[in-house]
Amino acid sequence: MPTYLMLTNLTAEGVRTLKNNPSRVAEVNKEVEQIGAKVVAQYATLGQYDFVTVVEAPDASTMAKVSVELGSRGTMTSQTLTAIPAEDLAGSL
């Protein structure tokens, strides 16, 4: 299944939501699964992004749906990257 990296920044509203309800991260991950994708790993990070999330989705359209759904809430912005295993890249060269 294709893998995607979602680089996320919380908005001020998102920070308030997380502070008031820390379990919201797990709730959102369950919502991602309801859309048809799976959160494989997630990290809170210091620096340019607040979270880095590894997501598996059956196709780019499903991942786009995840991005639009989460972004439409106004609590975060994200950038999504397609991840290709290094050995797959090496094998295709």
CATH code: domain of residue 46: 3.30.70.920
Q: Which range marks the domain in which residue 73 is found? A: 3-86
Q: What is the count of structural domains for the chain? A: 1
pTM, to two decimals: 0.91
The answer to the question of residue 45 being in a domain is: yes
The answer to the question of residue 71 being in a domain is: yes
The answer to the question of residue 59 being in a domain is: yes
Q: 62: closest CA among 79, 44, 37?
A: 37
Alpha helices (runs of H) in the chain, residue ranges in sequence order: 12-20, 24-35, 60-71, 86-92
Q: Give the per-residue pLDDT at 60.
A: 97
Q: Give the per-residue pLDDT at 72.
A: 96
Q: Give the per-residue pLDDT at 7.
A: 98
The answer to the question of residue 14 being in a domain is: yes
CA 32 and chain centroid, separation: 9
The answer to the question of residue 93 being in a domain is: no
User: What percent of the chain has a predicted confidence (pLDDT) above 70?
Assistant: 100
Beta carbons of 80 and 4 less than 8 angstroms apart? yes
Per-residue pLDDT, averaged over 17-31, amounts to 95
